[in-house]
């Protein structure tokens, strides 16, 4: 299978890449951080020699970056089997006090990246009448919380995009799944002082996405809510 993953240099994206590399799939990765992306690529190529893995840095918060990455994938004559829209950014704050421009930055990274990339890859997927699109939303897509501010607003918007896309793609053979993870131990929580056992692991989200690809063509999981066993942090 051809797996396209955004935000693949760390966190969920890197864990998802590892999970799909194990069976020897073909991976197409991007991240805006060039150094971290190529470090991740080197690690993946070393650890999973049976997989075919390519990566290029793009800033998907910019439309030209999302379009550029999508066209790069298409230029390699790739038929996308799985698209994971994982690129994202978290900046804490409140609507009342966060800095001017934070909402625009959150919307550009957390919503527009998925919207523009999906639109580039969709025509070929529709023509093939198959494929899976996974949007990494958040618990913050479902419920407002203290210090969520623009981040939560942008993730609500991503959930809306997922639901609209699901309805549009139903008759076209393309599955759309929105995943709503709670607190997971990634870079944003390092140094928090909270015990790691209190969190989910990035691998939990990766394993869940991989499981979606094992379903029959006639089955789709529309929404997945994942939380730490003890609940939200």
pLDDT single digits (tens) 175-201: 999 999 998 877 666 767 788 888 999
From the candidates 48, 112, 151, 180, give the one annotated as an active-site residue: 151
pTM over the 0.85 mark: yes
The residues, any chain, with a CB within 8 Å of residue 231's CB and separated by 6 or more, are 182
| Domain boundaries of the chain, sorted by first residue | 2-226
* pLDDT > 90? residue 129: yes
| Residue 151 a catalytic site member | yes
Q: Is the predicted pLDDT of residue 226 greater than 90, yes or no?
A: yes
Q: 2-226 in CATH: which number?
A: 3.40.50.720
Strand order, beta sheet including 2-6? 52-57, 26-31, 2-6, 82-85, 132-136, 175-181, 223-226
C-alpha to C-alpha distance for 143 and 140, rounded to whole angstroms: 5
Percentage above 90 pLDDT, the chain: 82
């Amino acid at each position: 299978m051809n797996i396209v993953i955004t935000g693949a240099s760390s966190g969920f994206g890197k864990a998802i890449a590892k999970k799909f590399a194990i069976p020897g799939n073909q991976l197409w990765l991007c991240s805006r951080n060039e150094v971290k992306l190529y470090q991740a690529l080197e690690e993946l190529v070393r650890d999973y020699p049976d997989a075919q893995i390519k990566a290029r840095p793009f800033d998907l918060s910019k439309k030209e970056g999302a379009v550029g990455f999508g066209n790069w994938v298409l230029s390699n004559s790739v038929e996308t089997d799985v698209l994971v829209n994982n690129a994202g950014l978290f900046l804490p704050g409140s609507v009342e006090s966060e800095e001017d421009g934070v909402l625009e930055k959150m919307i550009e990274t957390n919503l527009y990246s998925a919207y523009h990339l999906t639109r580039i890859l969709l025509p070929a997927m529709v023509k093939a009448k198959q494929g899976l699109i996974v949007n990494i939303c958040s618990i913050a897509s479902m419920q407002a919380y203290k210090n969520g501010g623009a981040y939560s607003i942008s993730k609500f918007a991503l959930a809306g995009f997922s639901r609209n896309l699901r309805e549009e793609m139903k008759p076209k053979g393309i599955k759309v799944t929105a995943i709503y993870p709670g607190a997971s131990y990634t870079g944003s929580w390092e140094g928090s002082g909270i015990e790691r056992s209190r969190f989910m692991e990035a691998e939990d989200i990766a394993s869940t996405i991989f499981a979606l690809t094992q379903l029959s063509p006639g089955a789709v999981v529309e929404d997945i809510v994942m939380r730490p066993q003890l609940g939200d942090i």
